[in-house]
Every structure is written in structure tokens, then in C-alpha cells.
Amino acid sequence: MELAVIDKIAAADSPMHRWDGRVKTILFLSAVIVSTTLNHWYLLAGLWLIALASFRTLNLPWRHLFIRLSIPFGIAWLVFLSLMFTNGRHDLFAVTLGPIRLTAYQEGLELGFLVVLRIMAAVTIGSILSFSTPMIEILETLRLCKVPNVMIDLAAMMYRYVFILTETSHNMRRAQLSRMGDSSSWLHQARDIGKVAGYILTNSLDRSIRIYKAMLSRGYNEDSTSASFFTTPISAADRQTGVLGGSLLAALVVFNIII
Amino acid sequence: MELIKASGVSYTYNDGNQALNNINLKVMKGERIAILGPNGAGKSTLFQLFNGLLLSTSGTVTIKDLPVQKENFPEIRRTIGMVFQDPDDQLFNSSVRQEIAYGLMNMHVSGQALENAIAWALEVVGMQGYENKSPHNLSGGEKKRIALASVLAMKPEVLVLDEPTAALDPRGVSKLIGLLNAINKDLGITLIFATHDVDIVPLLADRVYLLSKGEIILEGTTAEVFNHKEIIRGIDLRLPRVAHLAELLARDGKLSISDLPLTIGQAKSLLGNLCR
């Protein structure tokens, strides 16, 4: 999915999109952390179902989520298989692959299933956050949460310029293809792609120098700071929804400990 | 009052490329100056000397009588607002509001004064309501306007614009010319811009410095400079389209003129007089 598309999706309109970015970011990142700590599959499944139901409120086609989940699902499936066949004592069944005999275990199956659910729930929650909140708001919320400024600024700049660099690389690749760059051997094509990467690297360096000059021209110095992004307070309704969501997460954590 | 004065300025890059050679120029308050020259003439290098982004290898540049040197940078950068050719080099913040606040905060402006200055700058460039938008989602013309607003907010006395109309569509060019002229007339801000687009020069400049291979080869009013047709053509530039048409008509004996019209407006009144 192209970055520009993600930005457009995040700027769409739905109840979830209208929810304050600060509340959403804190709540959803907390939910990601909670999802990695739950030890009972039914609690995780419940959290995932809530996340899937939340996705419906975005009024987006399911394919957006499926595309986002496809790679993590592949990884989760590999983890599931490796855990099922390597972890535990109680045999479930055995598979024979030529000279190799693999035994699946009850404990491995349960742990693998738990890990799959964790991955899917965490990625779904993270995806909903990115689908409903512009990246700037997520980063600026992290700044409010006292994540070091230098990390936020670096991430914001990378996000800001990755569009331009991506576009440049696409344009260069198109220019290569327009001169039959795809009709040569794969080695030659790999070399062409390498040249694009090299150009992007030097281009990035040149651009960084120009950006630095632009900063200097507007009085940049070691004490320079950024203006706060959020200028309005969080509305009472958004705050209440945040508290409700936070309470639900807290309840999940408590259940997880008690059960 | 001389806002910018360059005396015998030369600049040589580390690789030995001499970009500027013995440049002498003066910019007075309220003027609209074009630095006209082909690619590689040294226009951008010259502009960087005005803002202290580069320091001349010989000669002196003064801004309001202050020599361009490190201890004067804060005052110089408050006086000279620089708008870069590619707005993507200039707009590095996450939101338009942060972008415009950037220079102001470096000037220690805060609170309501900061908010007022942001609102004012956005109003001047006609971009109210864009505060929380991300610069990378804007069109080329919008980016240019925000880049301009980010500098205007600092209330500079001189706006230095490097190729201001580069990569803009015709409507964007017209809008920007109107905006820059209004900034000069209404706010009294001195304009100095570099370009190789000869068609915008008569619309946006009172005086022109013609730059070629790092040297000023002509200076004067717009009409005076464009009267030196052979010199202009000799450095891979051309006359404005309107002037070229008038020149062809005059050559064919269909038009008798002393001064070439440089803008559509001038051509209209000239042809109007002939048709009477």
C-alpha cells in the first residue's frame, strides 16, 4: 500500500477518525502492550474481536486490513508451526516427511495459538490506529508522552521525506524501464536498481544539506524548539470514551491475573 | 537606505569552481530586483551569501551596514527572509502550523504573539485553515505559499526568492506574482528574486541584474536591460514573448516602435495606439 494512500485513509471521516488523536494513540498503544501480556486465548480472542468490530466503524473495505495482516499472518503461521512441533510433552499427532518424523504437542499447539492471536490482535489494533489517525498526530502524542524529542523529530522527518524519496525512486525506475531497463538480464536489472538506491542515498545527503540551510536561514540554533502541534484541549466526550476504553483494558489485565 | 550591499564579492567552492567573481550590487528599501541569469550563473550562490549560509571568499556583503559574519547572523536572518527554490527543502515540519512557527520560535516569539503571527502569515498567502495539514499533502503551489508564509511570519525587511515560479503551473505563476507584488506594495517588503524565466521579470521587477558565469554583465531598469537583446541572447536567455513578437513585427516593417513592450499590458496599449 502506498504511503500517500495511508495518509488519505487516515484523513477520512468516521466516528473513529473524529476521536481525538491523543486519546486514540495512548489507548491503542496501551492495547497493543496489553495484547502482548495476556496469557489466555479467550481474552486475546475477545480483544481481537473488539478490534475487528472497531475496524467496522472506520467504514473502510476489509481488504485494507487483510493486506496489512497478510505478512504478519504468514510470520505468525510459521511461529505457530515451529512452536507446535518443538514445544511440550503431550503428543497430539505425528507427521512423517520422508526420513523426518515431526511430533505435534498439546502445549506447543496452545502456545502457538496464543502467539498467533497476540500477533494478529496487536497488528490489528496498530493498523486501526494508523488507519484512523494521521502519523503526525501519533508522533506528536508520543512527544506529549515524553518520548525524547530527537526520536520524534527524526521519525517525523523520515516520514515527511520518505514520500519524496519514494517518488524519486519510482520516477527513476520508470525512466529506466522506458529505456527497456527490464529487457536485460536479472543481474543487469539488479545493478540498475542498485544505481537507483545509490542515487537516492546521495540525493538524500544533498537534500539534507539544503534542509539544514533552510533551517539556518530561519534562525536555527542549538536551542531551537518546535511549536506544540495540538492547540485545542481534549473534549469531555473523547476523554470519557478514553477512560472507558482504558477501563476495559484494565479489566482484561485483572481478569488475566485472576483466572 | 541600502538594505543589501555587495562590494567586490567573489565565491569559490571547495572544488575550485568559482561561482561568483567581483559582484557589486545594491538593493534599496522597497525595491523589486531580479537577478536574471541562465542555469549555473551563480544566482543561488549569491543569495546564500546574503543570508550568511555561505561566506564570501573575497569582498564584503553588508545587510543594513552589518557585515555578513557569524556574530551578526541573528540580525541578518531576521532582516533577510529566504524562500528556497524547492519548497520540499524548506518545509520539514510535521504540520503547516509548526512550519510557520519555526522561525518565530527561533526569534523567541511565543504565546498569543506566536498565534497571531501564524494567523497573519497564513492570511497574507491566502491559506487560512491549513494549520494542521501536513506539508507533504499539499500541491506544489500550496507548498510555495506555505514556504513564503513561513518566512513572512518572521516579518523580514527583504524577501529573497530563489526561482519563485519554478515548477508552478501558469495559474500558480499568476497568483504568486500577484501575491509578491501585493507583499511589496502593501507591506513595504523589498523583493529580490533569482530567475531565468524572462517572462516574469517585467511583471515583478523594477531593476534587473544580469548574471552570467558568476559575473554581473548588465544592470539597469527592466526596460534598459531588455533593450540589450544581443547580450541577453548571447547568454542563452531570450526576450519576453511579447517583446519578441513586437521585435518580429518591427523587423517586417509592420510596427514602428522605439521601446519594446515587455508585458501584455504594454503591448495592448501600444497596439491600441496604432489601431487608432
User: What's at A56, amino acid-wise?
Assistant: R
Same domain as B71, residue B14 = yes
Is the CB of A225 less than 8 angstroms away from the CB of B105?
yes
Interface of A with B (CB under 8 A): 7, 11, 134, 136, 139-140, 156-157, 159-161, 163-164, 207, 210-211, 213-221, 224-227, 229, 231
Domain count, chain B: 2
- According to DSSP, the residues that pair with B6 across neighbouring strands are B25, B61
Same domain as B273, residue B163 = no
Q: Which of B53, B74, B92 sits opposite A219 (nearest CB)?
A: B74
Task: Examine residue B124 and state whether it is found in any structural domain, yes or no.
Answer: no
Same domain as B255, residue B188 = no
Same domain as B20, residue B69 = yes
Same domain as B187, residue B160 = yes
CB A132 within 8 A of CB A16: yes
Same domain as B250, residue B184 = no
pLDDT over 50 (residue A81): yes
Q: With bands split at pLDDT 50, 70 and 90, how would you rate the model's confidence at A1?
A: very low
Start-to-end C-alpha separation, chain A: 41
Task: Examine residue B182 and state whether it is found in any structural domain, yes or no.
Answer: yes
CA distance A213 to chain B (A): 6
- A216 chain-B contacts, CB cut-off 8 A: 51-53, 77
pLDDT over 70 (residue A225): yes
Task: Examine residue B115 and state whether it is found in any structural domain, yes or no.
Answer: no
CB A51 within 8 A of CB A129: no
Q: State the complex-level ipTM.
A: 0.75
CA distance A5 to chain B (A): 11
Same domain as B261, residue B163 = no
Same domain as B244, residue B225 = no
Same domain as B212, residue B263 = no
CA B41 to chain CA centroid, nearest Å: 15
Burial bucket for residue B66 (CB in 10 Å: 0-12, 13-18, 19+): middle
B32 touches chain A (CB under 8 A): no
pLDDT over 90 (residue A88): no
Task: Examine residue B123 and state whether it is found in any structural domain, yes or no.
Answer: no
- B131 chain-A contacts, CB cut-off 8 A: 231
Domain carrying residue B200? 2-94+155-229
Same domain as B209, residue B254 = no
Q: Domain segments of chain A: what residues?
A: 3-144+233-258, 149-217
CA distance A13 to B86: 32
Per-residue pLDDT of chain B (276 residues; tens, 9 = 90+): 789 999 999 999 988 899 999 999 999 999 999 999 999 999 999 999 998 999 999 999 999 999 999 899 989 999 999 999 989 888 888 889 988 999 898 888 989 999 999 999 999 999 999 998 888 888 888 999 999 999 999 999 999 999 999 888 899 899 999 999 999 999 999 999 999 999 999 999 999 999 999 999 999 999 999 999 999 999 999 999 999 988 888 888 777 777 788 999 988 888 887 776
Handedness of CA B261, B266, B268, B270 (dihedral sign): negative
Task: Examine residue B168 and state whether it is found in any structural domain, yes or no.
Answer: yes
Output the domain CATH number for residue B163.
3.40.50.300
At residue A4, the pLDDT reads 58
Same domain as B169, residue B72 = yes
pLDDT over 60 (residue A2): no
pLDDT over 60 (residue A3): no
Span A136-148, average pLDDT: 91
Same domain as B213, residue B262 = no
Task: Examine residue B105 and state whether it is found in any structural domain, yes or no.
Answer: no
